[in-house]
Amino acid sequence: MFIIFINDLLDVCKDINNILYADDAKFCRHIKTHIDNSILQDVINNLQSWTDKWQLNLNVDKCVTVSYGYQVDKSHSYNIKREGMVSTLVRLNSYKDLGVIFQSDLSFKKHIASQINKANSMLGLIKRNFRDIKQDAIIMSYKSLVRSHLEYANSVWSPYRIQDMEALEKVQKRATKLISSLKHKSYEERLRILNLPTLKFGRIRGDMIEVLKILTGKYDSLISPHLPLSSGSVTRANSFKIITRRCHYDLRKYSFCNRVTNICNSMPNDVVNASSLIFFNRAVELTR
């Protein structure tokens, strides 16, 4: 019923990109000139008029603005009316959306630190309360309570800095040492005995699964990332040849659509042409 009630919201918020999820709405526009600022402010005014018309109270205290980019003009502010008073929306340098902390520079340092803290807390909980359980139970607890924090939405925030990757991997190193019989073995040996992949390999595998879903039409093409395929007849490794794009900044170079290109193009043809995601996942595991 709520979705039906707000169904016409997008009609009054034109000339911008808009995203609706449950009772959360986001309005985005690439700001190049003062005209773009004015258009975004007009959309906010239309939103206020829409809420007044349908008597839907808007929690202005939860309305914020965030600007993303290296060189962002933060001098312009956006206003919204509340009970006859004009309130200036708070500008943040980071914002948590669906469990992921997005910083204005898109570095995800805060999110990675937050997830590591959560994972270490759960790891400490397991260590304090489950000292004498079997190896399989420890691994199951680790996968469900600890690793889930380190892998959630990692296609979005996947790290590329060495210090961030090492900080994440350190959590798994601590987890594998909880098994007393393996404590004195090397990290690589512990992973082999426990049949665990490194977190880096897990992120790569997750990226490849997402690529397969996109290229085979498992997602809505209107909202999924665009991966342009080469129209040439030469496909050295497999039938999916994603066009390599040049990047000037590491931020774009290691974003999802660009970091998956070389890995996907180098995969064997029998892997990318797997009949299902289950067989694809198994084939990728064999390449570990």
Is the pLDDT reported for residue 74 higher than 80? no
Candidates 271, 251, 129, 140; CA nearest to 204 is 271
Candidates 91, 41, 35; CA nearest to 27 is 41
What's the predicted TM-score (pTM) here? Answer: 0.86
**3 state SS of 26:** strand
The DSSP code sequence of 82-119 is ETTEEEEPEEESEEEETTEEEETT---HHHHHHHHHHH
182-241 residue pLDDT tens: 889 999 999 999 999 999 999 999 999 898 889 888 888 888 888 888 876 555 657 778
28-71 residue pLDDT tens: 989 888 899 999 999 999 988 888 888 888 888 889 999 988 77
Helices (H), 54-186: 109-129, 135-141, 148-151, 154-157, 162-176
Residue 288 has what pLDDT? 63
- Contact predicate 243/231, CB 8 Å: no
How confident is residue 158, by pLDDT bands cut at 50, 70 and 90?
A: very high
Rounded distance between C-alpha atoms, residue 282 and residue 288, angstroms: 10
Give the residue-averaged pLDDT of 146-175: 95
Q: What percent of the chain has pLDDT over 90?
A: 41
